[in-house]
Amino acid sequence: MNKKIMHEKGYMDSYSSKTFQRIAVEFLNTILLKYCNDPNKTVCSLGCYDDVLAEQIKFKELYLVDMEFGKCFHKSNTKIHYFEESIEKMIFAKNFQNKMDVVLMTNVVEHINETILNNILKHIRNILVPNGIFIFTIPNTRSVNRLVGVELGMLEHPTSLSEDDKHIGHKKMYNYDDITYFGMLLKMEKIEDIGIMFKPLSNRQMDKYFGENLETFIQIGYDLGAKVCSYIGGVFKK
């Protein structure tokens, strides 16, 4: 099943990039539809910004958490619950405990203070049912576009925050090796790696030079493996 993402402009205009859209569609088709698309499952998305997820998967109930939502289209749906609150607070909420079949944190980890993030990861299992699934994604500091930036003097180090990073609210950047550390905090079993798209250039440059050939870079990402992909993460089981 192939679905497309085409909603407004998204957080900080992220949906306007062809490259971001293609990565998001690949994530939807290979991960979300595999683990979340079930009318009997209760799904929670932490730091989601909008409710586009409601159109992408089937669910029993959908819990959405963010400090402030963008434009939402499904507030009349009684199966969707919106919470304008911090992730750190909601994972301790009584009505969240042992409730969720799947919990998502997509493109959120890098926006959270490291101390707060560690506390969240240590306790995220408490809101999952037995055998529940936790999925998270992060931009990869070892993606080739960032390594090129270092060689060109645009970044001091792959983990350095660029002006674009700061503009969109990134607090700290991570790579594939950090996923192992996150797993230790989670105390959960990693059942699948996530690695999408080999990306040698920025999203804007990819759109400009390779906008009609993004499938090639999706395939190269699978050929080379998650460690060098632009968009990485993991699927963990309680």
Encode pLDDT of 178-190 as tens digits. 999 999 999 999 9
Stretch among 4-8, 22-26, 41-45, 129-133 having the lowest mean pLDDT = 4-8
pLDDT at 2 over 50: no
Nearest to 137 by CA among 194, 192, 200, 62: 194
Q: What six digits make up the tokens of 157? A: 């180090």
Instruction: Share the mean pLDDT of the chain.
Output: 92
Q: Long-range CB contacts (< 8 A, 24+ apart) of 86-90?
A: 87/46, 87/47, 87/112, 87/120, 88/116, 88/119, 88/120, 90/46, 90/65
**Full-model pTM:** 0.93
**CB of 48 closer than 8 Å to CB of 9:** no
pLDDT score at 93: 95
Stretch among 67-71, 139-143, 171-175 having the lowest mean pLDDT = 67-71
Q: How distant, in Å, are the alpha carbons of 59, 62, 126 from that of 79? A: 8, 6, 22
pLDDT score at 103: 98
CATH number for domain 11-237, candidates 2.120.10.30, 2.60.40.10, 3.40.50.150, 3.30.1490.150:
3.40.50.150
Q: Is the dihedral of CA 167, 171, 177, 179 positive or negative?
A: negative
Q: Count Cβ neighbours within 10 Å for each residue of 179-192 and write b for 16 or more, e otherwise.
A: beebeebbebeeeb
Stretch among 6-10, 37-41, 78-82, 93-97 having the lowest mean pLDDT = 6-10
pLDDT score at 34: 97
Strand pairing of 80-84 and 189-196?
unpaired
pLDDT at 3 over 80: no
pLDDT band at 25; cut points 50, 70, 90: very high
Stretch among 2-16, 104-118, 169-183 having the lowest mean pLDDT = 2-16
pLDDT at 49 over 80: yes
pLDDT score at 4: 47
What residues does each domain of the chain span?
11-237
Give residue-wise pLDDT tens across range 189-238: 999 999 999 999 999 999 999 999 999 999 999 999 999 999 999 999 99
pLDDT band at 16; cut points 50, 70, 90: confident
pLDDT at 113 over 70: yes
**Could you write out the three-class secondary structure of 153-189?**
CCCCCCCCCCHHHHHCCCCCCECHHHHHHHHHHHCCE
pLDDT at 15 over 80: no
